[in-house]
Structure 1
Amino acid sequence: MRERWAVALAVLLLFAGCASSGSPGASPTPSPSAPALAGTSWVVTHIKGSPTIAAKQPTMTFADGRVGGNASCNQYGAEFKQSGSTLTIGLAAQTQMACADDAVMKQEGAFNTALGEVKAVRGNGDGVELVTATGAVALTLAKAPDTPDKPLVGTAWTLSGIVSGDTAVSPVAGTSVTMTFTETAVSGKACNTFRGPVTVKDATIEVGPLASTKMACTNEAEGKQETSVLAILDAATGYSIEGDTLTLTAPDSKVLTFTAA
């Protein structure tokens, strides 16, 4: 079963067909039957007409007023609003891992630029096109493969990103934050081990209070990371699972994203 975001994530949602463009200065072509994006997931097949790298296609999942996914190697998330064919995507928060391949890094930069230029959406067969104010196709999307979501309970989850408002960071280099859920509890390890009760209902989650050991972390950065992770986890109110990605959301646009091990 596919759970959906209850609040903002952290956390962190690309193409089929060729791009088309309108005349200079033209407005996006209105579409009375523009596809509704809420509750849908896509892969980006083209960025401004250029095919994306098959093994590193960006992804986009639209749910509860937010769009997120993988920009190519980093996770991102942003608010979105759709009214008919008009689509507004807010400033995206994104983790800051260095992409291993220059071509992937270049693609991620192109995706981020195109995402900021989107002003409308229109159908394109089984896919959709996200277009700019001039009617040029910024992003071409194809439906994401219907892969089973990992279960919350019993899956080993590893931290992939921390989002606070418009700021997103990757885990501190050389560190790992892991956790697993049972039906009634969560346990894991940042630099200290932690555990606490959990209540899950539909797409909502209540965690804590959490208890942890008190060992000193290896360095200050790891200690700050642990403090941030446990605070957001303890305040979590919503969660979603898309494939092998778990997103936990808390008030004040704070999000944790985890990947199934």
Structure 2
Amino acid sequence: MRRVKWNRLSHLFRHIGMQTKPKFKTLKMLGVPLTAAALLAVSACGTETTGAGAGAGDRKGDGGAVQTDLPLTGVRWTVESSTAGGKKTAAPKDTFVEIDKKGAVKGNYGCNSFSGKATVKGDSVDLDKLLSTQMSCDAQDFELSLRKAFKEQLKAKLDDSRLTLTTSKGDTIALTSKPVQPDASFAGTKWTVESFTARKTMKPGGSESAQSVPKGVAGKAYLTFGKDGSVRGHTGCNSLNGQAKQSPGALEFGRIATTRMMCQGEAGTVEKQMLKVLEGKVTYTVNGRNLSLTGSAGVGLEATAAK
């Protein structure tokens, strides 16, 4: 009787063992895909986070290249000149622009000082809410031109210590971060003629036209003034010499003699324009390395000190 019961119990245990073993196998098989799925999920989350973080705070231009702001803040930019409608005009002394790191801008137009807000995004510069003093100045042409340019969004080009701001019309403002150089000496300097000017009225703000020296004659026309009142130079075709009585800010030319070469085309035109300026009483200004001569009839020339 005991033997039969034991056999039955043994059979029962074997039966239970056979049923239990497959259950352990099933759990082990399910454990593998669950672990792989979890790893894939973690990997996917990590990839998404990295991708989002890489682009945070960056602006991208064409081709996906990151666009960074030009380093224009914290620098005193001295305005050297402006070129509008093909005419280059030297800036008055102490004309400057300075933007701080918080976006505040201050400066001087050449007569009146100004302040406001500035935004630099990539190579674009916006000057906004500019307030200025209201002093009356003898010559406001440069200031009015600069005020007009600063109302536009400007494109900036930075080359070492030199900054160029360009308007939508292609007019430019040249600035530098280098210390301001002293004025070139009026006497003894070789002044290379760059352009000729003509005013319809001698009053401040009067309309003015300008014509650059043609490329074929560029660099050939120049003037040199001596401390003894002498003047010599070249018209781009003939040599010249004469006398000019000097007083503060003014010259009075005597007869100007030239050599007798026949001048035609561009060289002949430049010679006529130059000799017309060198007649009678003429006012002059030296600003840095730039010289301006203006006759009583409103005709004049712009020249630059040779290096």
TM-score by length of 2: 0.46
Match of 1:232 among 272, 277, 280: 277
Task: Note if contact 1:186-1:198 (Cα within 8 Å) is conserved in structure 2.
Answer: yes
Kindly name which structure, 1 or 2, has the bigger radius of gyration based on alpha carbons.
Answer: 2
Q: Distance in 2 between matches of 1:52 and 1:203?
A: 40
Counterpart Cα distance in 1 of 2:255 and 2:108: 42
Counterparts of residues 1-261 of structure 1 (less than 5 Å):
11-13=89-91, 15-17=97-99, 37-38=110-111, 49=120, 64-68=138-142, 80=144, 107-110=165-168, 145-165=179-199, 166-175=208-217, 176-183=220-227, 184-190=229-235, 191-217=237-263, 219-261=264-306
Could you report, residue by residue, the CA deviation over 1:11-42 in whole angstroms, capped at 9, with x for unpaired residues? 53153216679xxxxxxxxxxxx9795399x9
Higher relative contact order, structure no. (Cα contacts within 8 Å, ≥ 6 residues apart)? 1
Q: Is the 8 A contact 1:47 1:114 kept in 2?
A: no
Q: Find runs of 4+ consecutive structure 1 residues off by over 6 angstroms.
A: 18-21, 50-53, 111-115, 141-144
For the 8 Å contact 2:97–2:108, the answer to whether it is kept is no
Describe the shift of the 1:202–1:222 C-alpha distance in structure 2 as closer, same or farther (beyond 3 A).
same
Runs of 5+ consecutive residues of structure 1 not aligned to the other structure: 1-8, 22-33, 54-61, 69-78, 82-86, 90-100, 116-140
- The alpha-carbon distance between structure 1 residues 200 and 108, as it changes in their structure 2 partners (threshold 3 A), is farther
Distance 1:221-1:67 versus aligned 2 partners, 3 A rule = same
Q: Is the 8 A contact 2:194 2:213 kept in 1?
A: yes
How far the C-alpha of 1:149 sits from its partner, in A, is 0.5
With over 3 angstroms needed to count, the CA separation of the structure-2 counterparts of 1:241 and 1:17, relative to structure 1, is same
Q: TM-score, normalised by structure 1?
A: 0.53
Contact 2:277–2:299 (CA under 8 A) maintained in structure 1 = yes
Q: Is the 8 A contact 1:158 1:177 kept in 2?
A: yes
- In structure 2, relative to structure 1, the CA distance for the partners of 1:35 and 1:193 (3 Å cut) is closer
In 2: Cα distance, 1:247 partner to 1:224 partner: 20
Q: Describe the superposition over 1:86-113 as per-residue Cα deviations: whole angstroms up to 9, x where unpaired.
A: x987xxxxxxxxxxx9xx9x94444877
- Asked if the contact 1:162–1:255 (Cα under 8 Å) also holds between the matched residues in 2, the reply is yes
The structure-2 alpha-carbon separation of the partners of 1:51 and 1:149, relative to structure 1 and needing over 3 Å to count, comes to: farther
Q: Whole-Å Cα distance in 2 between the matches of residues 158 and 247 of structure 1?
A: 11
In 2 relative to 1, CA 114–224 (structure 1 residues): closer, same or farther, beyond 3 Å?
closer
Instruction: Say how many residue pairs are matched.
Output: 175
Q: Please tell me whether the aligned partners of residues 10 and 162 of structure 1 are also in contact (alpha carbons under 8 angstroms).
A: no
- Matched-pair contact (CA < 8 Å) for 1:199–1:205: yes
Computed over aligned residues only, the root mean square deviation of the Cα atoms, in angstroms, reads 4.4
Deviation, structure 1 residue 226: 0.7
Name the CA distance, whole Å, in 1 between partners of 2:179 and 2:215: 31
Amino acid corresponding to residue 16 of structure 1 in structure 2 = E
CA distance in 1, matches of 2:99, 2:224: 40
**Contact (CA 8 Å) 1:10, 1:249: kept in 2 or not?**
no
Q: Deviations over 1:131-156 (max 9, x none)?
A: xxxxxxxxxx9999432111111111
Partner residue, 1:132? none
Which deviates more from structure 2 when the two are superposed, residues 244-253 or residues 12-21? 12-21
